[in-house]
Structure 1
Amino acid sequence: MKSALAFLFFGIFYSLAQAADWNPIPCNATSKCPDSAPCCNQYGMCGTGFYCLGGCDPRYSFNLTACMPQPRMSSFQDLMSNASKIMDINQYLGNASQADWVYTGYINNADGALLLQMPNQSTGTVVSSTKYLWFGRVGATIKTARDVGVVTAFITFSDVQDEIDYEFMGYDLEKPQTNFYSLGLLNYTNSKNYTTTDTYENYHYYEIDWAEDQTQWIIDGNVVRTLKRSDTWNLTKNRYDYPSTPSRVQFSLWPAGSDLNALGTVQWAGGPINWNSQDIQDYGYYYAYVKNVSIKAYDLPSFVSGNSTNLSAFLYNSTTDFNEENVLLTNKKTWLGNQKAVGFNPQNDASTQSSQSSKSSASSSSSNTKTTKTTGSGSGSTGMPIVTDSTTSNTFVGGFVQGGSTSAKGGSASASKSGAGADRASTAIGGFLAMIAGVFVF
C-alpha cells in the first residue's frame, strides 16, 4: 500500500467541511501549479503559505523556487509527553526553531504518550517533523489503533516522495507491514509483513535505520528486514529505486476503510471502517500512542564535498532529476513572512514572522468550542480523554492543512460534526472526489 498516495485522500476529505465555492487546484506529473498558487503540497493540491513548507513537491510546483528550503535535522530525543509543544500546522510558517513537530487533525496526551485521535467521521491525524533527515536512525515506541479499515503509520517521507514505512493494519494486529518507495514509484513487491505480539495491546519499539547503502527495519531490537541499495537497480529507468532524499518523520492515524477511498484501498485495510465501533462508543475516537522518539542524524552522504557543518537547510537544484545528487545545502531562510507568501516571494525580511494566524489563499475556516475530559489515570479504559458533544473546528481546505485550536490542557484539535456547510461542500465537489477516488486504486 502506498501511504504517500493514500494520504492524498486526507486532503480531499478535509474539503467536505468547506464552503461550496472552494475551487481546488490539483497538481501532478501532467499538471503543475499556477503562479497564483504555486506550491504543490504532499497531497497533490496547490496553494501558498504552508503549502510551500514541509511536503512541498518541487516536481509539480510552479517552478523550482516555489518551495521553501528544508530545515536540516540534528540528532534529538522527544518523549512526546506534551502535546501542547506540537504546533498546529496553520500556525507554522517554517521557523523550525519554534517547534520540532506540527500536526493536522487531533492530538492529546495519555499514558505518558502522544495520543493520535480519529473521531467519528473524521479524516484522522498526521504529526510531522519540521526538520528533514538525510540518512539516520529513527525509533519510536508505539501502540497502534485497532479495527477494520483503520491504519496507523510511522514513516519517513521526502518532498519528492521517497518513503520508508511501517504500516499497521487495525484488522491484523500481529503483522506490521514494512514498505519503501522511490520518487513515488509504486511497486507491490516492496511490501513485507512481519509477526509480533498484538500491536494494540502492547507497546513495541520500531526503528528505521536508513543509510546510504542499506535500510533496516528493526522491531524491539531485532532486525526484521534489510534492504540493500544495490538490490534496487531499475534497468528501465537506469537508476536505483532507493529512498535517498531528505525526509521528514511522520506518524499518522487514518481511515483507509472510508467509503470515499478507492475499493483497493478499502480492501487493503480489511474492509469498510466501522464508525460505531467499541472505541468510538467508549471514547468518541480511534486512537494510537506514540512516545520515546529518538532520532540520530548520520553524516551527510559521502559525495557531499566541502564544509557543510554550518549549512542549515536543503534545496533541489535540478528541474528534471530529483535525486540525492541534486540536493544542495544552503543557509537560506526556511520561513515565510505570512500565509500568502511563497518560496520566490517569501516576504521574510522582517526579523519576526507576521500574520501567524492568517490563512493560506487556498483555505477557509470555521470554529466552535471543543472540550475534553479525563475519566481517570493510566491508559486503556481509564485515563482516556473523552470527546464531548461540544467540539472545536478549525478545518482548512486541501491537503496537509487540517488543524484546530488546542484546549487549555493541550487537548485535541477536532473537526466539528457534519452540518449544512459540509453538505453543501460535498455536493459542490462530489464530482471532483469521485474523479480522484477513481484514479488511485491500490
Structure 2
Amino acid sequence: MKFSPVFASAAALVAASLASAQSTCNEWSPCFREGYCDSDAMFCLWGLCDPAKSFNSTSCWQPEGCVSQTTTFDSSSDLVFIRSYPGNPNANPFLSIFEPDNASVANGALQLQMNYAAAQNKGFGATVDAAHTIQYGKVTARVKTASVAPGVVSSFIIRNDQTGDEIDFEWVGKAPNEVQTNFYFNDILDYTQMVPYNLPSDTSKDFHDYTIDWTPDAINWLVDGTVIRTVRKQDTFDAASNTYKFPTSEARVAFSIWDGGNSGAQGTQEWAGYPTPWGNGVQYQMFVDTVDIQCNGNAGTTAPPTDGGSSEVPTEVPTDGGSGEPPVYSTNPGGQKCIPRY
C-alpha cells in the first residue's frame, strides 16, 4: 500500500506527542539528571545528562572529544566548579563535579579533600572530571594519594557513567604501599578483575606517575614508566554472550577521594579498611601534580557546547561527593523536582 501523506502527518504528530510525554523537562530547564532538570553544565554535560528524559534530542551537550594536552595546575582556571563552567574545555580543562566543592588548585597542584559530614556520619569527598572526553589514548597523572588511614579511597579513572565502561587505578587507605588496577565493561561488577601492585614506598608520601595506555586492542597500566599490567581485548572474549568484555566507550578522565570505610556496605568497608578515623579538624587530601593526555582518536574542537535553554541557576543540585552512593539533594527553598511535560 502506498503511504498516504495525510497518514504520514498524523503519524508524525503522534510520534511528537509520545516524545514529549516521555520527556520530563521543559525548554527552560531542558537537561535531565537523576530526577531533576536544569540548564547548566551540572545537568547538561555529556555523560551526566540523560538524553532519553531531557526536553529533546539536542538538549544534552555533545561530547567534547579528545585534545592532547598537559595540565600543570599552575592557574586557577585549570579547575572550575561545574555550575560555573561556561562550556569551553580548552579554557577550563577540569571540572569539580559535586557540591560542596572540595577541590581546588593550590601550590601548583590539584587538591581533592574529604571532610567529615556529621549528618551522614561519614566523609564527604570530591570528584574532578576532565572537560574533554577520550576514546583511546595515553593518560599519565602524577599523584600523591590520601592513603594515610584505613577507609580513605583515592581514585584515578577513565569512565563512561552511561555505559559503565571503566579503567582505573585505586588506592585504599589500609594498604598505603599498594595500588590496584581494574577495568569494567557495560557496568558488570566483576571484582575478580582487580590486580594489586606493591610500590617500594608509601603512596601518600611521594608523587608517582600512573599511566593508563588504552588502545582498541589492549590496556596497559604503568607506574613510573614501568608496565605493571596488560589486558588484551582478545583475552576478554566471553563465548556465552559472544562479546568482548573490554571497555570501548568514549569516556572522561576523573579523580576522586571518598570514604569507603564508613560507606555502610560491608564489602566496600572490608576492601577499603574500616572504620575511617574522624575527629576534630581531621581532613584527608589527595594531590595531582600534572595530567598528560595523549589522544588516539575522537579529536575534540575548541567550540563550547550550547546550553539548549536558559542560563537560570538550578534550584536543586545532586551532591554525593564521589561516594558512588545515591545522591543527596540540597534543600533550597522552593526547589522542586521537574514535572513531566504532557
TM-score after normalising by structure 1: 0.59
d(CA) in 1 for partners of 2:320 and 2:30?
14
Would you say the 8 A contact 1:204–1:219 is kept in 2? yes
1:31-430 residue pairs with structure 2 within 5 A?
A: 34-35=24-25, 39=31, 41=33, 44-49=34-39, 50-56=42-48, 58=50, 61=53, 65-103=58-96, 104=98, 105-121=101-117, 122-145=123-146, 146-158=148-160, 159-196=162-199, 197-259=201-263, 261-276=264-279, 281=281, 284-300=282-298, 312=301, 334-336=305-307, 346-347=308-309, 355=311, 358-361=312-315, 363=316, 396-398=317-319
Would you say the 8 A contact 1:116–1:252 is kept in 2? yes
What are structure 2's unaligned runs of at least 5 residues?
Answer: 1-21, 118-122, 324-328, 333-342
Alignment-derived partner of residue 6 in structure 2: none
Q: CA deviation at 1:119?
A: 1.9
Would you say the 8 A contact 2:126–2:321 is kept in 1? no
Per-residue deviation, residues 162-207 of structure 1 (Å, max 9, x unmatched): 1110011011011111111112111121111011021011211000
d(CA) in 2 for partners of 1:156 and 1:173?
22
Aligned residues: 290
Change (3 A) 1:335 1:262: farther
Would you say the 8 A contact 1:33–1:39 is kept in 2? no
C-alpha root-mean-square deviation of aligned residues, in Å?
A: 3.1
Q: Secondary structure at the match of 1:265?
A: helix
Alignment-derived partner of residue 417 in structure 1: none
d(CA) in 2 for partners of 1:125 and 1:173?
20
Q: Single out whichever of 52-61 and 69-78 deviates more from structure 2.
A: 52-61
d(CA) in 1 for partners of 2:91 and 2:81?
12
Change (3 A) 1:111 1:45: same
Per-residue deviation, residues 404-424 of structure 1 (Å, max 9, x unmatched): xxxxxxxxxxxxxxxxx99x9
What are structure 1's unaligned runs of at least 5 residues?
Answer: 1-31, 301-308, 314-330, 337-345, 348-353, 364-395, 403-420, 426-442
d(CA) in 1 for partners of 2:319 and 2:239?
36
Q: Secondary structure at the match of 1:70?
A: coil
Change (3 A) 1:34 1:241: farther
Would you say the 8 A contact 2:130–2:253 is kept in 1? yes
Per-residue deviation, residues 287-335 of structure 1 (Å, max 9, x unmatched): 01101210000135xxxxxxxx7x749xxxxxxxxxxxxxxxxx9x623
Percent identity of equivalent pairs: 30
Change (3 A) 1:45 1:217: farther
Alignment-derived partner of residue 16 in structure 2: none
Q: In the alignment, residue 137 of structure 2 is paired with which amino acid?
A: G
Q: In the alignment, residue 106 of structure 1 is paired with which amino acid?
A: N
TM-score after normalising by structure 2: 0.75
